[in-house]
Structure 1
């Protein structure tokens, strides 16, 4: 890698959002949080950035109670943005979602028989980058699990590498959390899932559920958890409590490069800049040789008013 050159642009950009928790009738979450306004603000930030993501991934708890109108309203906000930027929309089941309503409202599919028999697993091909939406929910419960048939299905999918690798998206992230109560609701049978993904082309795991942004590894694979657009967990609260706050929301941008992958947290709310280097500044740097570029931008300058 040439340290004085400009890094290559990412092959793929993914907008990763999570835990929107919509309620029917546009009710506020706990009577306080305007969930519609928060996801709209996140998408406005995405559009303001000028980036055109290849996919928008929402990793579960799309609704709070699985109400049909809540899914319809979420679609009415998210789908026009995805269409305007040309992004593949990837939905993922969360523990607050309900499989029959999720399948009907998002995919037009009527489930026949018990919900337990119909995990909502799907595969998306985004220009050769495979995104697997894996349903980690347990009907009637809030903890996560992946059944033996699902693991067999996933192993079959991953047996054939994708051109640009795979992103695995599921609601319950397979990593630890310092929030003791949330560990009760973690993903079960993680060892079995690790056996399936280890050594495959899975380049990253995307999760939600925790309501705060965090990172880890699973079977030597990077894991990135997107914060919620509904409420966020206060990790400064006593460790044996669970405190959610109406603020500090972020979503994630995933940049997939030929030789790596990055995950960046983006504030949902727009803030006033206190310093700005604009496009013209970057254009001037791009016109320089790598050596001159490094000299122009990296060399320290004397303090203002100091000796030359």
Structure 2
């Protein structure tokens, strides 16, 4: 029995399914990676206090959630890599939880919270995870449709640098001993990458060699981190590392030497697309910006109906492009 190919050729769109117009099929998973919300408890008027008397952390998290929801993207999980509450206050955790959980529910996304150096383990457990209070490291495994997200607590109570204990390394080795269908993402607060900011080196993750020994040869495909308050990337134990900038305020990585400067701009989130053989991290600034050009959905519909060669011609430099 012979069928008729869709108009435009074998790679054109089928009913109810977009055409694959490039070399890669659609990502199996999409993760929104956010970090360093630094919520404070409420003031006398019942509203959230300003961080450093300047930063409205409530509004930045609301903005991040609204932006993700408005995108219409099919987000599988929201991963917050630590410093959720600036001082570990229970009501700060409750307020950020209420904002984020409601948004995650509307998007149908799994929620993953990771401990940071500003967080307090007992309140983190009771208010964010709804578990009994405990002071042990908050290490967890979350399955996201066959993608394993491992949350590793690198916090050291009372300090701001990071450590992973021998017991935690043994736990992690056991967790990673069996690979999963789509591999693993390791989410931690203190990223195992260098920073060029001298003061931040004091607060780095200690004894990274021991962690590397556990990760080499595992199915960990990417490491998600926070802590630095600026977006950056690196490589650790042969695994790509992606650091999300903070949603509260960012640190100026281009400030004069020997100076550490926090600024009220540059906040962003990362989108993590997981493909069969790659993990791609895209940085998305928070906020609304002027549109300078746009191709609307109707144009994409037209492209999907064309053959691969016709698409190249339609998008060539000598073809007329839609205005605006």
The residue number in structure 1 matching 2:182 is 164
Note if contact 2:221-2:239 (Cα within 8 Å) is conserved in structure 1.
yes
Q: Tell me which of 39, 52, 66 is aligned to 2:61.
A: 39
Partners of 1:151 and 1:170 lie apart in 2 by 13
Note if contact 2:55-2:264 (Cα within 8 Å) is conserved in structure 1.
yes
Question: Runs of 5+ in structure 2 lacking a partner?
Answer: 1-10, 12-19, 43-47
Report the CA distance shift for 1:92/1:200 in structure 2 as closer, same or farther (over 3 A).
same
Q: CA deviation at 1:161?
A: 0.3
Runs of 4+ in structure 1 displaced over 6 angstroms? none
The residue number in structure 2 matching 1:5 is 21
The residue number in structure 2 matching 1:300 is 317
Note if contact 2:39-2:96 (Cα within 8 Å) is conserved in structure 1.
yes
Partners of 1:262 and 1:169 lie apart in 2 by 15
More helix by share: 1
Question: Runs of 5+ in structure 1 lacking a partner?
Answer: none
Partners of 2:250 and 2:86 lie apart in 1 by 15
Which piece of structure 1 moves more, 229-238 or 14-23? Answer: 229-238
Q: Tell me which of 101, 104, 111 is aligned to 2:126.
A: 104
* Structure 1 position 140 matched with structure 2 position 158: yes
The residue number in structure 1 matching 2:193 is 175
* Structure 1 position 279 matched with structure 2 position 297: yes
1:178-221 deviation line (CA, Å, top 9, x unaligned): 11111110000100000001111000000000001100010010
The residue number in structure 2 matching 1:20 is 37
The residue number in structure 2 matching 1:210 is 228
Note if contact 1:59-1:93 (Cα within 8 Å) is conserved in structure 2.
yes
Q: CA deviation at 1:235?
A: 1.6
Show the 5 A alignment for 1:13-92.
Answer: 13-25=30-42, 26-92=48-114
Alignment length, in residue pairs?
Answer: 297
Report the CA distance shift for 1:302/1:110 in structure 2 as closer, same or farther (over 3 A).
closer
Partners of 1:170 and 1:285 lie apart in 2 by 41
Note if contact 2:251-2:260 (Cα within 8 Å) is conserved in structure 1.
yes
TM-score by length of 1: 0.94
Q: CA deviation at 1:302?
A: 8.0
TM-score by length of 2: 0.89
- Residue 103 of structure 2 aligns to a residue whose secondary structure is helix
Partners of 1:234 and 1:162 lie apart in 2 by 38
Show the 5 A alignment for 1:181-196.
Answer: 181-196=199-214
- Residue 24 of structure 1 aligns to a residue whose secondary structure is coil
Partners of 2:56 and 2:41 lie apart in 1 by 12
- Residue 127 of structure 2 aligns to a residue whose secondary structure is helix
Q: CA deviation at 1:303?
A: 10
Note if contact 1:130-1:162 (Cα within 8 Å) is conserved in structure 2.
yes
